[in-house]
A and B are shown apart, each in its own frame.
Chain A
Amino acid sequence: MVRSMETIATGHPLVQRILDRVGRCIERVREDRPNRVFLEIAPAHNLEVARVLFWDLGARLATISGVDLRDSVEINYHFCFDAEHCVVTVKTWADKPDPHIESLAPIITGAQWVEREINDLIGCTFDHHPGLTRLILADDWPEGVHPLSREYQCPLNREYP
């Protein structure tokens, strides 16, 4: 997948501070509306960008969400900058099949449980996670079946008009 190297001029002063620190890791910046910034980065840089945002710039990791796209799993790291009144979402990708990405848990303790949840529900593996065990699915749920992945068809689902 070819990703373009474009940086759009932005309005929020916070974005300039982020670009000064880790600008070389960031492929694209998008600010659709005030106080919501979306940064796209390559998967190899996720640890470095997270470290800068969390420890140097004082953000709070709100959560991590995974979206199963056709050929990759998109991982969004949502950082809340409370003092600057802004939510910065860092987007990156893990290619399928067998998506892997570096875990944030060694630097941010709060990422441990949500990464386990994404591992259960979408199937993305987080390398160097201290304990990537089953969190949210039942003990007798079959291995390798991920409810939020595109391939999963729940036998009970009905289509509503």
Chain B
Amino acid sequence: MGYRTLIPIGPYHPLQEEAEFFQLYVEGETVVDMEWRTSYNHRGIEQLCTKRTFDQVLFVVERVCGICSASHPLAYVQAVEEIAGVEVPERALYLRTIVNELERIHSHMLWVGLAGHFLGYNTVFMWAWKYREPVLDLLELTTGSRINYANTKVGGVRRDIANEHKPYILKVMDEFEPKLEMLTKAVLDDYILHLRTKNVGILSKEEAKKYCVTGPTVRASDIPIDVRRDDPYAAYDRVEWDVITDDGCDVFGKAKVRLLECFESVKIIRQCVKQMPEGPLETPVKDIPAGEAIGHVEAPRGETFHYVRSDGGPNPVRHKIRAPSFVNVPSFKATCVGQPVADVTIALAAVDPCYSCTERLAVAVDATTKKLRYTFEDLLRLSQEKTERLRKGKEA
């Protein structure tokens, strides 16, 4: 089973020339060092947050990253609720959980598509994004928007799920699960994918600890850290689910963890929809007193950490936002050194940086002459050509 057509249709991935985000130094065909420079996406959000009121900050914070658009506001809102000492009603907790898990599914499907594209499996790219569409429809149904949800607010949520929508949500999950199974088997059982992803981009347990990585990146190195279990928030302590880990430490392990997490998300959503009690959607909050607090949630990429400090005024005094990619992406240095150039793109994609970070990816520079050897287009092409060679080698 699993109809797999490998027709290289060519690089669709939108690229930007010349902007160096990662500078890789290569000797021959092996990477020896990596430097990281990030400034293209810096919008000064932390400074903006000190100039907005607490409820205006929510809309700013949503746009930190589009794919984790439900995680950032939730982390911020949890921090503010801790400062204000507010108890969120139970129905709101379940609604928050449903939106976060739907976001996790859509983000992992997005990742599977991009990883497939980097490896030259454009069919996987098209399938993954096609099966992601019903999930986005569900998000539009529950929150009103496909991507920027604006559903969370300090004290609760903004929108409810009507009872007549619940059977539809369960139906979409029932239809999604077999497609997810098919995609999982197609990706995890493919011999060529094993050759391309096993023992590639290895992040050992010790390196994972030193770089303080989080999310599927660390769970694939056999360290079971998950904020949903370690510091439960929303309704995660009221439903049954498992933390997925893998001891492969390589790209294959990361792919496996992400795909299996989607199944757990489907499980969580089903339980939430069935168990959700009736009740109010929010607790009214008047003023935020002076204080400081921390909110952290498990975004699809890892732990999103927000530190909010208030002095009793209308604006936060300090709002520190630490997206998961900020800790995960430096671990690319540990995984790419010693790898052949053709494996660099998939090693970086496995860390799952935010898409716009991936876009202005890497250029490879010769270590001795410091001259540009490969642009990102070349690195992508090398990766796709390697898959072709392996496929021909197998069939020959």
Contacts and interface: CB of A to CB of B under 8 A. Distances in A.
A and B touch in the complex (CB under 8 A): yes
Interface of A: 32-33, 35-36, 38, 60-63, 65, 67, 76, 78, 80, 82-83, 85, 87, 89, 108-110, 112-114, 121, 134-139, 147-148, 152, 154, 157-160
Contact of B212 (A36, A60, A137): A60
Contact of B210 (A78, A80, A82, A109): A109
Interface stretch (B163-171, B288-296, B384-392): B288-296
Given A33-B82, A62-B212, A113 B326 contact: yes
B294 A78 contact: yes
A82 B38 contact: no
B47 A148 contact: yes
B210 A114 contact: no
Given A87-B231, A87-B296, A138-B39, A63 B330 contact: no
Contact of B318 (A65, A82, A157): A65
Contacts of A76: 307
A88 to B, nearest CB: 10
B298 to A, nearest CB: 11
B309 A136 contact: no
A82 B230 contact: yes
Nearest to A38: B292
A83 B230 contact: yes
Nearest to B51: A157
B51 A85 contact: no
Contacts of A138: 39, 42
B36 interface: yes
A114 B296 CA distance: 17
B231 A85 contact: yes
Interface string B21-65: 000000000000000111100101011000111001000000000
Residue among B210, B212, B292, B305 with most chain A CB within 10 A:
B212
User: Shortest 9 CB-CB distances between A and B: which pairs?
Assistant: A110-B212, A65-B320, A63-B322, A82-B230, A109-B210, A67-B318, A110-B211, A61-B212, A65-B307
Interface of B: 36-39, 42, 44, 46-47, 51-53, 56, 82, 209-214, 225, 230-231, 291-294, 296, 303, 305, 307, 309, 317-318, 320, 322, 326-327, 330
Contacts of B303: 62, 80
28 contacts: A32-B291, A35-B231, A36-B82, A36-B294, A61-B212, A62-B212, A62-B296, A63-B305, A63-B327, A67-B317, A76-B307, A80-B303, A85-B230, A87-B296, A108-B212, A110-B327, A110-B330, A114-B322, A121-B46, A134-B39, A135-B37, A136-B39, A138-B39, A147-B47, A148-B46, A148-B318, A152-B47, A160-B56
A113 B330 contact: yes
A160 B57 CA distance: 12
A114 B36 CA distance: 13
Contacts, number: 95
B53 to A, nearest CB: 7
A54 to B, nearest CB: 9
A114 to B, nearest CB: 7
Given A36-B82, A136-B39, A148-B47, 14 more contacts: A60-B212, A62-B212, A62-B305, A67-B317, A78-B305, A82-B225, A83-B230, A85-B230, A85-B231, A87-B294, A110-B212, A110-B213, A113-B36, A139-B39
Contacts of A85: 230-231
Contacts of B38: 135-136
A85 to B, nearest CB: 6
Nearest to B330: A113
B42 A114 contact: no
A63 B52 contact: no
B56 A137 contact: no
Contacts of A137: 39, 42
A135 B326 CA distance: 12
Nearest to B39: A138
B274 to A, nearest CB: 27
B119 to A, nearest CB: 28
